[in-house]
Structures are given as C-alpha cells and as structure tokens.
Structure 1
Amino acid sequence: MKFPRCDQSPAWGALQAHYEAAGRSFDLRQAFATEPDRFADWSLRSPEVFADLSKNRIDAAALKLLLQLAQDCGLESQREAMFAGEAINHTEGRAVLHTALRAPAGSGLHGAEVQASLERMLAFADSVPAAGFTDVVHIGIGGSDLGPAMVVQALQAYGRPGIKLHFVSNVDGHDLAPVLQALNPASTLFVIASKTFTTQETLANALAAKAWFQAAGGTDIAKHFVATSSNTQAAGAFGITTTFGFWDWVGGRYSLWSVIGLPIAIAIGGENFRALLAGANAMDEHFRSAPLAQNLPVLLALIDIWYRNFHGFTSRSVAPYHQGLKRLPAYLQQLEMESNGKGVDREGQALPYATSPVVWGEAGTNGQHAYFQMLHQGTDVIPVEFIAVKTPRFGVSGELLERLNDQHQKLLANCLAQSQALMQGKSVEEALGEKAPTASASLDAQTVARHRSFPGNRPSTTFVLDELSPRSLGALVALYEHRVFVSGALWGINSFDQWGVELGKALCSALLPRLVSGDVAGLDGSTAGLLKHLKA
C-alpha cells in the first residue's frame, strides 16, 4: 500500500503558515504565564515513563495540525502494517518484527519459534556462572554491540555477582588488547555477535581473540567461544558449536531483544531479561492502542517534525541524569540517524525537506561542564532531552548510602535547574542587578551584563522513571524505537535499511590490499596521497 508523504498533506502548508504566524515568535515564558494548566496539559504518563512536554515550543493549534498530518499520512495503517508483519522494509523485502521478540508467550507473530529461541538462550545464559566463567567478552559492532553494551551498563545494579562483561567493537587493536591483557583464558567466555558471521571488524577481533586464547594454551574453542549468528556453517568453520540464530526480520539496531541480547541475559539473569522484554511490550501496546493525541511515541515524533522541518533545528541533545545511562546517547545515535538519515523517499525520489536530526549527548552532570555552554548561550537552538530517575539503587548501606542519596538529590536538582535555565534565561537587566565577578577595567557594567545574559526560550523535554529497572529501561528503549518509526513514516522514508554504510565497506575492501602493495593506480588524488603518506 502506498502512503502519502508529509508534504503532500494539506496540513503541511497549514503548519508552515502557523509557524510564520505564531510558531516562530512562540515564547515559553509567555506560554506558562498565560496557560496556568500548561504542565498538566502537556505531560503524559505512559508505561514506566512520565514525560513533561510543556517546555516545548508548541501550542494546541500546531499539535492539532500535526495530528492531522499523521492522519493524512496513514500513520495508523502504517503502524498496523509493521505489527502485522508486512514487508515494510521494501528495499530488502523484509518484515520489521522486533515487537514480536517481546510479545508474551502464546501471543504475537512467530510466537512458538520466538519463545523456543528465547528459552534456549536464557538457559545458556543462566548456565554460564556454573560453568566456571568469570569474564565474558562480547565481540560485535553496530547493532550487535550498542544495544547490549548500553543495557548492561544501565542495569549494573541488577548484575549477577562473579561475572564481568567486556564489550569490544572497534577493529582498532587498542580496543581489544587492554581487555585481553586483564583476563584469564581459562575462565573467559567469548560471544561473537554477527548475523552473517562476515562482519569485517567483528571477524578480525574474533580471530585475534582466538589466537590469544590458543597462544595461552587454550584448546577447547567449542567451550570458550559461542556465536549469535544465523550463519552456523561459518561459525562452525571457526570452531564454534554453540550458535544462537535469529531471523531476517530482526534489524541490527532493533536486535537487543533477540539472541543478540545474550550478554544482557548473562549479566542480569533470565528473569530480569524477561522483565526487560515485558517493559518493551507494555510500550508496544501503548503505541499500538493509545489514541494519537495521548500516544507518547507519536507526540514526541510530531514535535520532532515540528522542530526539524519548521523551526529548522538541526540536532537534539540527550542528557540522561543517571550514570547508568551514559551509553544511551551513543545507542540513540544509531537508532535514529541510521534509521532516518535518508535523502530519498520510498519511491527513490529526492526529498525536499530535512529528515533525521543529529543526536548527541552525555550523562549529566558531566555534560553541564562540557557542552551546556553552547546550549544556553550559543547561536543554535538545540532541543534537549533530560532523563531523570526518582529512586536510585546504589547497592551500598550505612553512611555511604546516606551520602549517595544526598548526592542523588543534587543530581536531580541539577537536572531540573538546567531545563529551567534553558527556558527562563536571564535578561541584561537581570544581569545588571546581580553582583558581577571582577572584570577587566576596560569593560563597563552593561558590556559585562550582556556577556552574563541568557536568551532563554530554549526547549526541552523531561522524562522521569520511577527507577532504572529492567522493565522501565525496556519501556524507554521501545519508546524511542516507535518514535523513530513515526517520524520515518511521516517523512515517507524506509527507516529500516542502511545502504549508506555499504559504499564505505566496499571501498575499504578494495583499499586494504593497496595498503600492502602501495598501488595507487586509479585512485583520486587525495586518497592516493594519503595512502603514500601512510606507507612512507
């Protein structure tokens, strides 16, 4: 079925007119002054995630038009096509069914085979501690690394004692070497994650790990190496006899819910892995059944389109105020930019509007001391996404627990203060009324005040989790997945292929032998010059 593109909807032109009439000059401070119920009207509780959208530069009129845009583009039908297993990844002829991986037993498409795969994977994961392994090295890249690494970091408080997880992804030997130097081969398990078992970086690291293991006297490859891959033949040639396969309808950046999540299950145990799936499934049901106007993934995506295509905001910063979520921005970079970083529509026609924003960020409060200067006073307006967790889980007691609980209040205060400061700003007059620090004698008070003023009216969204648990993390990640789907559906693009990464891979394969031979025939001047310089 063919669906209209967003710019083919009458709402598109109406949105442009509304932006010129009211959106461009929209002021958050004025909105809160004239809308006493703005927080209540623009906040929403979805499964496990509370969202405050009130500090976004949007009004009811814009939202009404954006909801009409979603209707015109057939969003609900596109959503149902995904859940029904239609081949919405049309350039590869594949269904997109990561939601089936977290459906409860006895439900969902491919239910029996999904549950069989899950049971086998979790049984193995729960057997790892008893097998004498103390360290697990997970070797993968992209979707086979970012999701598992992010979740294991986030759920450290739920980690099983006696097992330490290590993640290696970069083909640069500086990633693998320090990990191996600290390990005992006799108590180390390697998980090689590659759907095709042909990924260049992953195979290079896997072969290096195998060589290290054998050089240390290791002989039982079958015990110390397992694979999450659909290519059992290639894994077998490597020496691996335990392989966990999955399906072509599981995309790489949506695969942490599949056997690619094996390191997660090893780290937190089967019961907690099931809770992770249950949280994601709860968000799936919210996305599938909630009316569009009360549907959190939909609302977030509509605000994203409002910002990207009408306000012209080119990026979004993600600031999780929980150290466990420090890898979330990197995970979201792939999820959003690999999914929606497209320049043609489903028919292959060039798009006349922007798609994916640049997604970036750092855990608070570290980010405050790095890039927040630009957020507050820079020339670009960059919407910020704050993530706060009400109840910490430190795993300590006594006086240390009291101190860390006090620090958590400081962390939350910083989170609230930053979003407040972005919105409120500080006028030159307010800065003049403050006692300024000592400045150069050549600067008058007015000049100093201009340096100390903030424009304000800078938008942000705040998510609040009651705690960072397997269930709440599952819901949060699924929320982002569905948000990306909605944006792509309205932009009229295929969010589930990634041809943009293929050209570089092909050129790399062609250049690799030239780095040995030094042959530069037929290369462009820059590449030839760089290759000669590297060979000199």
Structure 2
Amino acid sequence: MNPTSSLPPLLPCDQAPEWPRLQALFAAQGRAFDLRRAFAEDAGRFAHFSQEAPHLFADLSKNLWSREAEALLLALAQSCRLAERRDAMFAGVPINTTEGRAVLHTLLRRPKGLALPGDLPQVAHELAQVHATLDAMLAYAEAQRADAAITDVVNIGIGGSDLGPQMAVLALEAQHIAGKRFHFISNVDGHELHTTLQTLCPERTLFLIASKTFTTVETMTNAHSALAWFAAQGGREVARHFAALTTNVAAARALGITTTFGFWDWVGGRYSLWSAIGLSLAIAIGAEGFRALLAGAHAMDEHFRSAPFAANLPVRLGLLDLWYRNFYGFTSRCIAPYHAGLRRLPAYLQQLEMESNGKRVGLDGKPLALATAPVLWGEPGTNGQHAFFQMLHQGSDVVPLEFIAVRTPTHPLPGHHEKLLANALAQAQALMQGKVVGDGHRDFPGNRPSTFIVLDALTPAALGALLALQEHRVFVSGSLWGINSFDQWGVELGKVLARDLEPRLASGDATGLDASTAGLLQRLRRPGRA
C-alpha cells in the first residue's frame, strides 16, 4: 500500500468473511479445547506457537487456540485491512479521526533521516524536529547528571506524564547514576507531595513539570505548591531548579520556568515516554541508555511493520486478545512480571490498553456489537502468588495470565533468581496441567491459559522493545474492533463536573445537584464551614 492523506477503509472484524467460520470453529472446539491434549497430539506445538522477536522471546503455546483457529484469525486480519491501517499510522495519516491527528509516537524512536515507504511529505520535517528536541533534551539530561549539587529529581505529572517515566525509572534502576534520587508526584492529593517535600532541600532539587498544555489540574496544582514550597524554604533561581516538559512555553515562563522541552499533538499521553516526558529517565540512565531504549522500541516497530502476520508477534498477541474477548468472553487479563523492577508495569499497561480500547462505539460513533478492552490488572511475582493466584487456579472465572520473566538478574544475591524463575515456570505449568486428587478442595482444574514472555536481561533496549510490543498489540485489537484507540473522551466529563463541585465544597451550595451528590458534599465539607 502507498498511504495517502485519506484514511484507508477498515472492515470491522465481525463483518469479515472469516467471522462466521471462527464462530463455527469455536462452537466445535472452543469450550472443549484442552491444552494437555493439544500438546499430546502435536509434538510441534511449542515450536509453532513460540517465536523470537526483537530483544525478547514469547511462548504462546499454553493458550486456548489451535493452529486452525490462529490461521483463521490471521486471515481475518488480512480481510480487515490491518496492514493498510498499520502502514497509514507509520506514514503519518491522521488515523485519530475524532481529533483529526496523526499517530506518530513511532517517529519518536525512528533513527535520524530514516524514510519509510509511503511517508507523507510532512513526516521528514517532523522527524528532524524530533531529533533536534531529543538532542537538546539529552544534552540537558547529561548536564544534570554531571551536577553533583542536584541530588533529587522530582517529576510532577499525571497519566502518561507519570506512569511511563515512573515505570521505566524503576525498571532500569540497576543502570541509575549514583548520588541521585528520583521521585514521582501525580495525585492531586496533597499528601503525596507534602510527604515528598519533607525529604528535600530546595538547593539540591530539580523539579520537572510534565504537562503538554500546562493546564492539567492535578499537575498544575502540584506545580504551584512546589513553587510555593521552594520560595518558602529560601529557594532561589527558579529557572535553575525547575524545567517544563510542555508546548505552552508562555505559561511556563509566567511561572519563571525558562527551560522547556516540547512535543507534538500527534503524541498521546500514554505514548509519550519516548518524548521529552522521558527526561527523568534520561537523567537516571544517561543519553546512551535513553537512545538504547528508543532503539529497542524502533526494532519492535520494524518487526511490526515488516514481519509477515504469521510471524508478527504484536499481530499474534492482538488476535489472541480478540479471540479471548469475543469468543471465550474473558473479561480480564492478568499481568505478572517476575521482576521487581517491573512492579509498575501493570499500572502502565492499564492506561495503555484500557484508555486506548475502552470504547463502546466504532469509528462512525455508533455502538459496537462486540465487547472491547478487557480489564488489565496484576502484581509482580512472587507477590501475586500469595494474593490472587488462588483465584487464578481454582476460581470460577478463567483469567488469561501473562508472565514476563528476565533470564539475567540485576542483583548479586545467590539463589534468589533461580527461585524466582522456578516459580514463574511452575505457575504456568500448574495453570495448564492442574491436578485431580479426588478431594474438591485440593483439585486444580488446569487448562488455564497463559502467555510467557522472556527478556534476556532488563536493559533499556529490551524494555523499549517490550513496551512497543504492547503498544502495537493494542493497536491491532483496536483496529480489528473498528475503534479509535487514540482518543480518550471518557475522562473529560468528570473533569468538567469537578470544576463545578470544587467551589460548592467551600460554599455548601447544593442547588441543582442530585440527592446523593448533595448529601455527600455536605458530609465531606470540613467542620467549621458555614
């Protein structure tokens, strides 16, 4: 395909000719599918349903699908013109139709000067701007790394301006520069900011205010409080101790913040780690490490863009997600990273998938006939084993589980990593095999599905590839459902209502409110207010 400025046509999955064939196949073998029998009957099952991808390996063999089901799903993706929509995204076509925007987060990790087939004319100009901003941001990061006077870096943001950099900074803590601590403030609840400020000295702290528009209520409330604390503590040189990750340079300057790094309207918040929003990470791991993160993500981009669907890991995962959601009716998916550094990955993936695909209408704005995004949840292993794994093994609901393991440890302690990996392998094995002893309390039904992803080491490149993989699988399922995965109108109504309710908490005016909201408002007002 050679994309143009027009959006390529999309055939929703339930209108594809393969859909009734998939329904018939599921009726014949879906509920009766048994993983243990599937392995016994197919000696090549592991080889077929596992694959190498950039910087990682994935085993999809312990999932409830046959080769026939996968083949039909792959044909479905072709019929739905998934390749055309993917190519349109990479080329800069405005596939975010409700906002009239391109979706070019992949451009943030594309090498300088690299042109792809079908690029729209403006892409080369945008790529040059991306690298100019990247170079300036990384130079600033290196300067902060070299400044021994700065011991604390505080990132103030919310949503993608917090979840991405916080998750990545924690994941790559083994690569951190010595002598600096990193803090992340997102919640408008002042408790979070207040307790952090008590541990800081103004002359040794750098604040990063991360807000594209510089109008996000939570971020700006925290930013103003941080500035007030800085002044009250005798802090001088706001321009030295505050930087803004924003396109609203004028608003930042009005607060005395002169160092700014911008990004573009084709970067959604949940896809912004790769931009200046990643400055805290760049300070933590350095310019070389940050460029390695981008390179790992770009390698996965190229895999998604060029690999045949049958060997394309984001496509296979996205099709599996659709198979589980729309045929098995599974309503959630559990994420279990078996590495403590990835402890914030489930929260990051929650935003990525549920904010992207938590939609009930298609591109035409009309209600869909199909269910869309599942609920994502999880905790690191082995913690989860002592919390919710009971339900995964013996509960009444089947929940697909996604294991993420790292072959090489990031610590020198003997014995720990072998126990960790053994537990990951054992849990996946137990979910599939089960055990029947004739005592209902101790019987495990087995046949519970899981995916197993292996990183050789938790490096910046491997993390970049893992995150890009998850981005693209979300794109695949969203495209097949026929929704716009790149807007998030669902978060707006509550923001509007909050602006009305905030002054009412002071005045007590409940005029026009429903009885529940009015009653709760009075209950929440602080004593002593009229």
TM-score by length of 2: 0.95
The alpha-carbon deviation at position 239 of structure 1 amounts to 1.2
Q: Aligned match of 1:107 in 94, 107, 114? A: 114
**Does 1:412 find its partner at 2:421?**
yes
Secondary structure of the 2:215 match is coil
Alpha carbons 2:153, 2:205 under 8 Å: kept: yes
Specify the alignment match of 1:442 in structure 2.
Answer: none
Q: How far apart are residue 207 of structure 1 and its match?
A: 0.7
Query: Where does 1:2-401 land on structure 2 (aligned, <5 Å)?
Result: 2-108=9-115, 109=123, 110-131=126-147, 132-394=149-411, 401=412
SS of 1:467's equivalent in the other structure is coil
Q: Which residue of 2 aligns with 1:438?
A: none
- C-alpha deviation, 1:533, in angstroms: 1.0
Contact 1:129 1:162 in 2 (8 A): no
Partner of 2:461: 471
Task: Please give the secondary structure, in 1, of the residue aligned with 2:456.
Answer: strand
Contact 1:27-1:57 within 8 A present in 2 as well = yes
By how many angstroms is 1:351 displaced?
A: 0.6
Structure 2 CA distance for aligned equivalents of residues 384 and 210 of structure 1 = 44
Match of 1:8, as an amino acid?
Q
Counterpart of 1:515, as a letter, is: L
- Which amino acid letter does the alignment assign opposite residue 283 of structure 2? I
Structure 1 vs Structure 2 CA RMSD: 0.8
Deviation by residue 1:472-514 (Cα, 9 ceiling, x = unmatched): 0000000000000000000000000000000010001111111
Matched to 1:101, the amino acid is L
SS of 2:370's partner is: coil
Could you give the per-residue CA deviations for residues 234-273 of structure 1, whole angstroms, max 9, x where no partner exists? 1111110001011101110000000000001011000000
Q: Which amino acid aligns with 1:462?
A: F
State the shift of 1:405 in Å: 3.5
Runs of 4+ off more than 6 Å: none
Match of 2:434 in 1: 425
Question: 1:340 deviation in Å?
Answer: 0.1
Q: Matched residue of 2:103: which SS?
A: coil
Conserved 8 A contact 1:339-1:496: yes
Helix, strand or coil for the counterpart of 1:50? strand
Tell me if the contact between 2:9 and 2:81 (Cα under 8 Å) persists in the aligned partners: no
Match in the other structure for 2:444: 454
Distance in 1 of aligned mates of 2:233 and 2:146: 23
Give the CA deviation at 1:36: 1.2
CA distance in 1, matches of 2:515, 2:500: 16
Letter in 2 for 1:128: Q
C-alpha contact 2:203 2:236 (8 A) present in aligned 1: no
- CA distance in structure 2 between the partners assigned to 1:98 and 1:315 by the alignment: 27
Q: Does 1:531 align with 2:530?
A: no
Contact 2:145 2:286 survives alignment (8 Å): no
Partner of 2:472: 482
Q: Deviations over 1:183-221 (max 9, x none)?
A: 111100000000000000000111111111100011211
Contact 1:392 1:405 in 2 (8 A): no
Deviation at 1:427, TM superposition (A): 1.1
How far does residue 14 in structure 1 lie from its aligned partner after superposition?
A: 1.1
TM-score by length of 1: 0.94
8 A Cα contact 2:475 2:485, kept in partner: yes
In structure 2, how many angstroms separate the alpha carbons of the residues matched to 1:322 and 1:405? 16
Deviations 1:71-107 (A, max 9, x none): 1110000000000000000100000001000011221
- After TM superposition, give the deviation of residue 177 of structure 1 in Å: 1.2
Identity %, equivalent residues: 66
Letter in 2 for 1:466: D
Count of paired positions: 509
**Deviation by residue 1:258-307 (Cα, 9 ceiling, x = unmatched):** 00000010110000000000000000000000000100000000000000
Q: Is this contact kept in 2: 1:488–1:495, CA < 8 A?
A: yes
